[in-house]
Amino acid sequence: MSTPDPKTVPIRDLLPDYREQLPEVAARFARIRERPVILSIRGLEKSYGHGDARTVVLDRLSFEVRRREFLSVVGPSGCGKSTLIRIIAGLDEATGGEVLLDGQRVEGPGPDRGMVFQGYTLFPWLTVKGNVMFGLKLRGKSKKAADREAFQWLDLVNLEEFADAYPHELSGGMKQRVAIARALANEPRILIMDEPFGALDAQTRAQMQSYLLQIWKSVDVTILFITHDLEEAAYLSDRVLVMGANPGRIVELIENPVPRPRRREQFISRPFLSLKRRLAELIHADGAAEELKLPLTMRPCAEDSVE
């Protein structure tokens, strides 16, 4: 029997199953499953209106996140990703189900949950150090203690030399590092990040992803990360939760087959590509990636076809 020509074999047949795990990956997930559950989502529902006018945003979501796990959430536009994390953060109320953090029901915002958003949410009238000190002082720390701890967090994100700068003097990536330091200074149990790098250029985004992995490695914190970028999810996460839309629901919760520590070279590895392919299949399963047909006709000046 002749060997198939790789040039004629579909890419899906050249990649392993995304559920296949190398021994070191399987061993790591076994260790993760031994850790305590930090966040528990049970039958979470969110809807608006009543009767025929009722719109279901989240439909009975249930999942758990364990200590020091990095969980990314991906899904098509309108699937309820931001609504989900707003409920977890205590900024919105569910209409059914519950959110438990360390076994305690979430009833509102709290310092046990740090938030980093896509938009730069720093206080423009405070210096970099002042922004990081803000939460520390609210927690009752003395100015001396808050000052000392702020420098420790700025050292972690490699911005101590910019302690006296103001937000308008910083680049986008530097602002997000300050936002991360400010969120972590309160020592939250979980860090919730809503597309934090979405507004950055490609090079800065790659740098911030690397920074985040280094920070996460150094701090006892669990991360819940919302993103629309499938490569970002595959690069950063332990597991990836895929949501579907209309209504928002869990389609699949995938254990990332890519070994740690993560490197950029892995973007072309077989486990990485198999995971990315599966994520694309799930997100575009409902026709989200169908080509948009525009009602265009050729203008008189467009005589030569670009194809």
pLDDT digits (tens, 9 = 90+) for 74-87: 999 889 999 999 99
> How would residue 250 be classed by pLDDT, with cut points 50, 70 and 90?
very high
pLDDT in tens, 167-223: 999 999 999 999 999 999 999 999 999 999 988 899 999 999 999 999 999 999 999
Output the pTM of the full model: 0.88
Report whether 298 contacts 306 (CB < 8 A). no
> How would residue 13 be classed by pLDDT, with cut points 50, 70 and 90?
low
> How would residue 50 be classed by pLDDT, with cut points 50, 70 and 90?
confident
Candidates 283, 222, 275; CA nearest to 21 is 275
Candidates 76, 74, 42; CA nearest to 254 is 74
Residue-level pLDDT at 118? 81
Candidates 179, 88, 174, 184; CA nearest to 136 is 184
Spatial distance between the Cα atoms of 164 and 142, rounded to a whole number of angstroms: 19
Residue-level pLDDT at 119? 74
Report whether 68 contacts 74 (CB < 8 A). no
pLDDT in tens, 219-246: 999 999 999 999 999 999 999 999 999 8
